[in-house]
């Protein structure tokens, strides 16, 4: 059929099913009614399938052709382990609930069409999946088990609730306990399980490194670079040429430092700072990665495909190859490097009164760590101060300016959620030796303030130039979610004020978090406040950043590890060089929408993978403590039990059935667990001593029970951990020594 013939037949079919007298019928029945010749019946089916894909009609599971009802919507299905799910519709704030018996065998990530119930069930919108338009993922990672004549795979993704049948001929030689990558060939139905074939054996579940490698495979994280990328990398010089330095502003005479973690190797931001009278001259210098990663080159295409570097517990999966990220694009001490510099003049109130964005050449004087800067300024360590004597005035100036900038940001209403982060120490075989809270100091915060200032300045500059750009956007929360938050926090005596049209100012969230600070419910209030807000994302429109209380914001400061930063560096450089012609502007207007969507999705993927690995290693670490007791605090209460968090950030659950002495129920209005007969309560933030009862390495869950009363009085957590802590420290010292030796050998 020609295109014209196809369109004519599509119109004929659409008009036919739109008639009032039409009753749903099969394709075969429609062919008879429309008197379609036998030779054209296949064409009729193709036309009907095309109309279904376009969303103009609906093909039922039984093959009936139906006109679209006004209550049909299309969205992404999100499964749960309990069988029910939710469908997210683009542009709608609230998801639709799908009961377990109405999912039509939809699986997590599928694109589905739903029929919305006209009668709402309470406050919850409910719907039924009527068709599956596109499967979300046909490739899964799981654990293989062998039977006599077949095998099956239990997916690591626990939202995939059915085992996958594997015929003997499709096992690829896998044995029980192998972690495998499986391709689903038949998604099954409500009556029979999905079927698949094994396409890769990762290794045995107990082999070192297989657990994290399984997460890498499950999330589709790229491991190796294509040959074309590595060929391009080979052609990139190791040192900056004099030719490339020409025409740039030379800042090599300015006192310049990088401040990063001790183990960081990709150093993409450097700082210069001076003060004249009451005015500060702050320079934020960012590695000019776009000089080497040129548009549409193999490196650029691979960077866009990766979107971001991924930081797992035992490794980094970088966006750019190490020769770039650790070499010529890294602002290493004592070497000339190309940069994009944001030079800001800041007054005593923290106002950026002037700025320049320039192509520059810089040379870092010292590579500093957060720890050493903290020792110099706050701890006043005499040995460290002596080593960095010439830099002390600049570090003290940094603290001074950062405090001014932070105060100004807080005055605007910027929200800081200061959740404790974990630091997990592994031995060379990937076994967790220790889990501890990662300590942040003010040296971290000064760099954050300077990066925020640069990001805001660059975003505002390009907004007013009305050029195509990539912004970092954090939209205003939905009023319904804020109202729900308001109802909940009333139980604890807190209130938040809503503005005109039920909008909220970030200052109200900031005040709420500040009031809850130091209280037993602090963690819960902060988490719920965070969940009430939308996720930040990349957009081509500058719609502001709610959490930071900024009208203009972008990501400019990390082009080594984030593609949006690299993308806007190209735009900035073309603009500075006078090369943004109408043709180039049109080009960016065309490509940037896809860049923003893809970058946002890849950022979510990286975050999810990082959380999954952290959860896995915490569960593995706690296996050795089954039967041991620890002091913790109640961090959450639900209908099914209480979450308890230990001082090292590890969280586990006491199931409601395991609370002794009474029948306990969840009192939602007070957010506490209450004994029905005794009236005994368990409250958020309450100190509690728990015993590790079980660890499930499949679900990465940790179960606690309340420790015996006698044990609570006699056993101290320090005595339980002392020997293991000593061994962890010894292993850490050996690990550090080994890495130093490796670095020395590389050099």
Please tell me the predicted confidence (pLDDT) of residue 737: 56
Tokens linked to 709: 């009363």
Of 34 and 67, more confident: 34
| Cα atoms in the 13 Å half-sphere on the side-chain side of 219 | 25
Compute the CA torsion angle 463, 467, 469, 475 (nearest 10 deg).
Answer: 40
Listed residue (563, 555, 552, 550) closest to 597, CA to CA: 563
Mean pLDDT of the chain: 88
Of 124 and 681, more confident: 681
In whole angstroms, what is the distance from residue 339 CA to residue 676 CA?
66
Is the domain of 602 the same as that of 707?
no
Q: What is the average pLDDT across 199-203?
A: 95
Say how many C-beta atoms besides its own lie within 10 A of residue 34's C-beta: 13
Confidence grade of residue 739 (pLDDT, cut at 50, 70, 90)? low
Confidence grade of residue 67 (pLDDT, cut at 50, 70, 90)? confident
- Residue that terminates a domain, selected from 113, 134, 155: 134
**pLDDT of 266 higher than 70:** yes
The answer to whether 477 and 546 have CB atoms below 8 angstroms apart is: yes
Q: What is the average pLDDT across 624-643?
A: 92
Q: Which of 117-126, 422-431, 634-643 comes out lowest in average pLDDT?
A: 117-126
Listed residue (61, 56, 101) closest to 74, CA to CA: 56
- Residue 733 maps to a domain: no
Q: How far is CA 314 from CA 21, 221, 271, 649, in A?
A: 65, 15, 29, 19
Please tell me the predicted confidence (pLDDT) of residue 500: 67
Reduced to 3 states (helix: H, G, I; strand: E, B; else coil), residue 619 is: helix
Residues listed for the chain: 747
Please tell me the predicted confidence (pLDDT) of residue 747: 46
Please tell me the predicted confidence (pLDDT) of residue 153: 93
- Residue 650 maps to a domain: yes
Q: How far is CA 697 from CA 207, 452, 618, 627, in A?
A: 14, 40, 10, 16
Please tell me the predicted confidence (pLDDT) of residue 125: 85
Per-residue pLDDT tens digits for 417-464? 877 788 899 998 899 999 988 888 899 999 999 999 999 999 999 999
Is the domain of 231 the same as that of 275?
yes
Listed residue (73, 84, 151, 144) closest to 114, CA to CA: 73
Confidence grade of residue 71 (pLDDT, cut at 50, 70, 90)? low
Please tell me the predicted confidence (pLDDT) of residue 725: 52
Instruction: Report which DSSP code applies to 219.
Output: T
Is the domain of 105 the same as that of 188?
no
**pLDDT of 715 higher than 80:** no
In whole angstroms, what is the distance from residue 75 CA to residue 59 CA?
17
In whole angstroms, what is the distance from residue 201 CA to residue 76 CA?
30
Q: Give one DSSP letter per residue of 331-395, joined into a string.
A: --BTSEEEEEEEEEEE-TTS-EEEEEEEEEEEEBSEEEEHHHHHHHHTS--HHHHHHTGGGHHHH
Please tell me the predicted confidence (pLDDT) of residue 133: 81
Q: What is the average pLDDT across 225-249?
A: 94
| Cα atoms in the 13 Å half-sphere on the side-chain side of 220 | 13
Q: What is the average pLDDT across 659-679?
A: 88
- Residue 507 maps to a domain: no
Helix (H) or strand (E) holding 638: strand 629-638
Q: Residue 188 belongs to a domain with what CATH number?
A: 2.40.50.700
Is the domain of 574 the same as that of 652?
no
Per-residue pLDDT tens digits for 269-303? 999 999 999 999 999 999 999 999 999 999 999 99
Helix (H) or strand (E) holding 738: helix 717-746
Q: Residue 9 belongs to a domain with what CATH number?
A: 1.10.10
Q: Which of 12-21, 50-59, 535-544 comes out lowest in average pLDDT?
A: 50-59
In whole angstroms, what is the distance from residue 286 CA to residue 301 CA?
22
In whole angstroms, what is the distance from residue 169 CA to residue 166 CA?
8
Is the domain of 336 the same as that of 436?
yes
Q: Which residues of 584-612 are buried (b: 16+ CB within 10 A; e: fewer)?
A: bbeebeeebeebbebbbebbebbeebbeb
Please tell me the predicted confidence (pLDDT) of residue 718: 42
Q: How far is CA 521 from CA 547, 673, 683, in A?
A: 21, 14, 9
Q: What is the average pLDDT across 104-131?
A: 80
In whole angstroms, what is the distance from residue 456 CA to residue 414 CA?
13
Q: Residue 117 belongs to a domain with what CATH number?
A: 2.40.50.140
- Residue 315 maps to a domain: yes
Is the domain of 328 the same as that of 427?
yes
First and final C-alpha spacing in the chain = 66
Is the domain of 17 the same as that of 92?
no
- Residue 259 maps to a domain: yes
- Residue 454 maps to a domain: yes
Listed residue (204, 202, 197, 155) closest to 175, CA to CA: 204
**pLDDT of 711 higher than 70:** no
The label of the residue with tokens 């690299």 reads: 566
- Residue ranges of E strands in 60-209: 64-67, 72-79, 85-88, 96-98, 111-116, 127-134, 139-146, 150-155, 164-167, 178-186, 195-204
- Residue that terminates a domain, selected from 614, 643, 675: 614
108 alpha carbon, distance to own chain's centre? 18
**pLDDT of 490 higher than 90:** no
Give the torsion sign (CA, 101, 104, 110, 116): negative
Q: Which residues of 53-89 are buried (b: 16+ CB within 10 A; e: fewer)?
A: eeebbbbeeeeebbeeeeebbebbbbbeeeeebbbeb
Is the domain of 470 the same as that of 457?
yes
In whole angstroms, what is the distance from residue 593 CA to residue 296 CA?
16
**pLDDT of 379 higher than 60:** yes
Helices (H), 556-581: 563-576
The label of the residue with tokens 């970058």 reads: 599
Is the domain of 185 the same as that of 261?
no
105 alpha carbon, distance to own chain's centre? 28
Provide the domain count of the chain.
5
**pLDDT of 627 higher than 50:** yes
Listed residue (219, 214, 52, 184) closest to 105, CA to CA: 184
Please tell me the predicted confidence (pLDDT) of residue 719: 41
Tokens linked to 64: 């009936």
**pLDDT of 721 higher than 50:** no
Q: What is the average pLDDT across 509-517?
A: 90
- Residue 221 maps to a domain: no
Q: Which of 91-95, 276-280, 611-615 comes out lowest in average pLDDT?
A: 91-95
Please tell me the predicted confidence (pLDDT) of residue 368: 95
- Residue that terminates a domain, selected from 109, 134, 159: 134
In whole angstroms, what is the distance from residue 685 CA to residue 671 CA?
11
Is the domain of 121 the same as that of 14?
no
Q: Which of 231-240, 531-540, 569-578, 709-718 comes out lowest in average pLDDT?
A: 709-718
The answer to whether 646 and 630 have CB atoms below 8 angstroms apart is: yes
Listed residue (364, 365, 359) closest to 249, CA to CA: 359
Tokens linked to 241: 């040429």
Please tell me the predicted confidence (pLDDT) of residue 517: 87
Listed residue (178, 173, 155, 179) closest to 165, CA to CA: 155
Is the domain of 575 the same as that of 602?
yes
Percentage of the chain with pLDDT > 90? 58
Is the domain of 179 the same as that of 231?
no
Phi then psi for 705, rounded to 5 degrees? -130, 160
Q: How far is CA 435 from CA 76, 153, 632, 727, in A?
A: 36, 31, 15, 13
**Which residue range(s) make up the domain with 160?**
139-207
In whole angstroms, what is the distance from residue 395 CA to residue 146 CA?
62
Please tell me the predicted confidence (pLDDT) of residue 105: 82
Reduced to 3 states (helix: H, G, I; strand: E, B; else coil), residue 134 is: strand
88 strand-pairing partners: 76
- Residue 97 maps to a domain: yes
């Amino acid at each position: 059929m020609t295109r014209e013939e196809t369109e004519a037949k599509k119109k004929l079919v659409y008009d036919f099913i739109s008639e009032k007298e039409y009753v749903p019928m099969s394709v075969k029945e429609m062919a008879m009614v429309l008197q379609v010749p036998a030779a054209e019946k296949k064409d009729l089916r193709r036309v009907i399938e095309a109309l279904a894909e376009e969303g103009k009609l609906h093909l039922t599971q039984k093959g009936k052709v139906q006109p679209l009802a006004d209550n049909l919507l299309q969205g992404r299905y999100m499964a749960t382990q309990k069988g029910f799910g939710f469908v997210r519709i683009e542009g709608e704030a609230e998801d639709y609930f799908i009961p377990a018996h109405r999912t039509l065998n939809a699986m997590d990530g599928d694109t589905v069409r739903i029929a919305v119930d006209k009668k709402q069930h309470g406050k919850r919108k409910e719907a039924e999946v009527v068709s599956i338009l596109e499967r979300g993922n046909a490739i899964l990672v799981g654990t293989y088990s062998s039977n006599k004549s077949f095998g099956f795979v239990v997916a690591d993704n626990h939202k995939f609730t059915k085992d996958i049948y594997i015929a003997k001929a499709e096992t690829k030689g896998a044995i029980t306990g192998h972690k495998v990558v499986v391709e689903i060939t038949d998604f099954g139905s409500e009556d029979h399980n999905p079927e698949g074939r094994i396409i890769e054996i990762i290794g045995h579940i107990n082999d070192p490194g297989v657990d994290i490698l399984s997460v890498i495979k499950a999330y589709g994280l790229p491991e190796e670079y294509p040959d074309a990328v590595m060929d391009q990398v080979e052609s990139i010089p190791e040192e900056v040429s004099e030719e490339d330095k020409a025409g740039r502003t030379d800042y090599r005479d300015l006192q310049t430092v990088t401040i990063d973690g001790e183990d960081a190797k990709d150093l993409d931001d450097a700082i210069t700072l001076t003060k004249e009278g009451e005015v500060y001259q702050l320079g934020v210098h960012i590695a000019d990665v776009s000089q080497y990663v040129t548009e549409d080159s193999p490196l650029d295409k691979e960077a866009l495909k990766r979107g971001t570097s991924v930081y797992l517990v035992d490794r980094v999966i970088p966006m750019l190859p190490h020769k770039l990220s650790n070499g010529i694009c890294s602002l290493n001490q004592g070497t000339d490097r190309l940069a994009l510099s944001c030079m800001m003049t800041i007054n005593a109130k923290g106002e950026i009164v002037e700025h320049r964005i320039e192509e520059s050449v810089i040379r870092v004087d010292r590579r500093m760590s957060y720890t050493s800067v903290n020792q110099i300024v706050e701890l006043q360590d005499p040995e460290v101060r002596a080593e960095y004597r010439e830099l002390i005035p600049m570090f003290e100036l940094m603290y001074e300016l950062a405090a001014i900038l932070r105060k100004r940001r807080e005055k605007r209403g910027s929200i800081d959620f200061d959740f404790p982060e974990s630091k997990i120490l592994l031995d060379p075989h990937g076994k967790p030796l220790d889990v501890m809270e990662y300590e942040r100091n003010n040296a971290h915060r000064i760099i954050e303030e300077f990066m925020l200032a640069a990001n805001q300045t660059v975003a505002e500059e390009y907004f007013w130039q009305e050029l195509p750009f990539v912004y970092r956007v954090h939209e205003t929360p939905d009023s319904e979610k804020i109202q729900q938050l308001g109802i909940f926090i009333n139980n604890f005596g807190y209130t938040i004020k809503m503005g005109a049209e039920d909008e909220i100012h970030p200052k109200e969230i900031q005040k709420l978090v500040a009031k809850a600070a130091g209280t037993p419910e602090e963690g819960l209030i902060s988490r719920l406040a965070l969940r009430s807000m939308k996720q930040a994302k990349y957009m081509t429109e500058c719609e502001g950043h709610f959490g930071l209380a900024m009208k203009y914001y972008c990501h400019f400061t990390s082009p080594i590890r984030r593609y949006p930063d690299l993308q806007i560096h190209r735009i900035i450089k073309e603009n500075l060089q006078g090369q943004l012609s109408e043709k180039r502007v049109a080009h960016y207007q065309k490509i940037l929408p896809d860049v923003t969507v893809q970058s946002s999705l890849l950022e979510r993927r990286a975050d999810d993978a990082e959380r999954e690995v952290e959860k896995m290693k915490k569960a593995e670490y706690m296996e050795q403590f089954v039967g041991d007791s620890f002091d913790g605090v109640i961090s959450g209460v639900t209908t099914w039990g209480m979450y308890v968090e230990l001082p090292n950030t590890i969280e586990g659950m006491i199931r409601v059935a395991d609370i002794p002495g009474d029948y306990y129920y969840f009192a939602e209005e007070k957010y506490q667990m209450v004994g029905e007969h005794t009236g005994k309560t368990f409250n958020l933030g309450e100190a509690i001593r728990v015993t590790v009862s079980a660890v499930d390495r499949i679900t990465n869950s940790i179960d606690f029970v309340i420790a015996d009363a006698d044990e609570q009085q006699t056993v101290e957590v320090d005595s339980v951990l002392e020997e293991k802590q000593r061994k962890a420290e010894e292993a850490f010292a050996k690990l550090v020594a080994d890495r130093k030796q490796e670095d020395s050998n590389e050099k």
